[in-house]
Amino acid sequence: MTEQKEGFEDLFDRASSFLSSAVDPLLRWNGDWFPRIDVREGDKDIMVNVELPGLQPGDIDIRVDERRLTISGEKKMEKEEKRSDIHIFERRFGSFTRTVDLPVEVDADKVKAELVQGVLKIEMPKKKISARKSIPVKTA
């Protein structure tokens, strides 16, 4: 029975994470720009890539706890030297926040992040899971 319960809880957690990741962008989109994100799970870590062209490391804030990653920042419009008529303006500017529920717990103290050619690369080692401990039950 315990294995069935654990299996159900795992299934529920994965379904909840999937629905959250699908609905979260719709709920949080505020008309500003919304960076694209990839999350991959390896044997020992979770890897996240975020498209952040035009940003510098100081423009980005990363917060992580055991099961959630939040990336926020601001893409500022560069100042134009002279006025001109704009014919096409497709680029997006402004602040953003992306929150992702992670598939497993990560070690927040060992997270690494670097910005490479406009892509933020975040490596989060999985938290080591301690073996389950059997607790004896005493009679009263």
Number of domains, the chain: 1
Taking only the tens place, the pLDDT of each residue in 79-113 is 765 667 777 766 677 889 999 999 999 999 999 99
The DSSP string of 96-122 is EEEEEE-SS-B-GGG-EEEEETTEEEE
| Residues paired with 121 in a beta bridge | 49, 114
| CA quadruple 109, 110, 111, 117: dihedral sign | positive
Q: Where residue 116 sits, what CATH number does that domain have?
A: 2.60.40.790
Residue 65's domain comprises 2-78+89-125
> pLDDT tens digits, residue range 58-86?
999 999 987 999 999 988 777 765 667 77
Q: Tell me, what DSSP letter sits at residue 51?
A: E
Residue 126, pLDDT score? 95
Cα end-to-end span (Å), the chain: 26
Residue 133 is assigned to a structural domain of this protein: no
Mean pLDDT calculated for residue range 17-23: 57
| DSSP element (H, E) containing 25 | helix 2-28
Query: Using CA atoms, how far apart are residues 75 and 94, in angstroms rounded to an integer?
Result: 5
Domain-located, residue 137: no
